């Protein structure tokens, strides 16, 4: 699974410190980042008889990339360039080969192998300047593309700095398959039915530094 969008949650807090240290520098720095051990993304769903959980571990995460950001004057929001999450559906592991195949088929992975999330902007839910020295609730506005359909979504996360240039983010976001033209499947002549709701959970540790 490759996902780049989480950097948007880091940048607002990091950019505040960057501007205070260098007030004459433009607010559009390039930032390089990498996911570290302990990071996971999990897709959770259910049928009428059981629950299922499909996880992607940090070793399968794209090792690093860079993006540029532009913050507003009070550092409550920022817009992003080249901040796109590309979720490789077949990197999700449900712990069972049969379940994996069912998930990939359900999400039309053979035709649309990735879920794309393009970040437009992000900011603090409180509308205050972002400060990740303490646990902070964050909102991300994004366009999500799945199975060839694109929808505008708001994603809520919580973040905190846990070390030098190291940040921890958690959160979840529900996707409804019918919104993306996906019909929840059935099995055993309709006896087993999959719920329309697919809950994506994030637990991410990210290392970041400015490169310009």
Tens of pLDDT, residue by residue over 153-182, are: 898 988 888 988 888 888 899 999 999 999
Beta bridge partners of 127: none
Cα–Cα distance for residue pair 107/92, rounded to 1 Å: 12
Task: Give dist(CA 3, CA 83) in Å, integer.
Answer: 9
172 and 200 Cβ atoms separated by less than 8 Å: yes
Kindly list the distances between the CA atom of residue 200 and the CA atoms of 42, 161, 203, in Å, as whole numbers in the listed order: 6, 22, 10
d(CA 55, CA 44): 9
pLDDT-derived band of residue 75, with 50, 70 and 90 as boundaries? low
Ordered domains of the chain (ranges, CATH)? 2-210 (2.40.128.110)
- Residues 65-89 have a mean pLDDT of 63
Residue 8: Cβ within 10 Å count: 27
Dump pLDDT digits (tens) for 2-18: 444 444 455 544 544 44
Neighbours of 16 (CB within 10 A): 18
Is the pLDDT reported for residue 99 higher than 60?
A: yes
30/87 Cα distance (integer angstroms) = 23
Confidence band, pLDDT 50/70/90 cuts, at residue 189:
low
Average pLDDT over residues 34-54: 84
This prediction's pTM: 0.75
Q: How far apart are CA 52 and CA 152, in angstroms?
A: 26
C-alpha span between 2 and 89 (Å, rounded): 10
Burial of 133 (0-12, 13-18, 19+ CB in 10 A): exposed
Which residues 6+ apart lie within 8 Å of 59 measured at CB?
none
């Amino acid at each position: 699974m490759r996902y780049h969008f989480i950097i948007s949650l880091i940048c607002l807090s990091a950019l505040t410190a960057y501007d205070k240290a260098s007030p004459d520098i433009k607010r559009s720095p390039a930032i390089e980042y990498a996911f570290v051990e302990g990071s996971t993304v999990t897709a959770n769903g259910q049928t009428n008889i059981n629950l299922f959980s499909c996880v992607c571990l940090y070793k399968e995460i794209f090792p690093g990339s860079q993006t540029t950001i532009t913050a507003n004057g009070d550092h409550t929001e920022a817009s992003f360039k080249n901040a796109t999450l590309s979720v490789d559906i077949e990197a999700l592991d449900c712990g069972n080969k049969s379940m994996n195949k069912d998930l990939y088929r359900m999400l039309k992975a053979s035709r649309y192998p990735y879920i794309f999330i393009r970040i437009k902007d992000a900011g603090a839910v409180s509308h205050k300047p972002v400060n990740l020295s303490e646990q902070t609730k964050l909102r991300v506005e994004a366009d999500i593309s799945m199975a060839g359909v694109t929808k505008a979504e708001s994603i809520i996360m919580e973040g905190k700095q846990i070390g030098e240039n190291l940040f921890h983010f958690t959160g979840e976001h529900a996707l409804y398959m019918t919104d993306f033209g996906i019909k929840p499947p059935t099995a055993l002549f309709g006896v087993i039915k999959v719920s329309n709701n697919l809950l994506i959970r994030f637990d991410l540790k990210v290392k970041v530094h400015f490169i310009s």
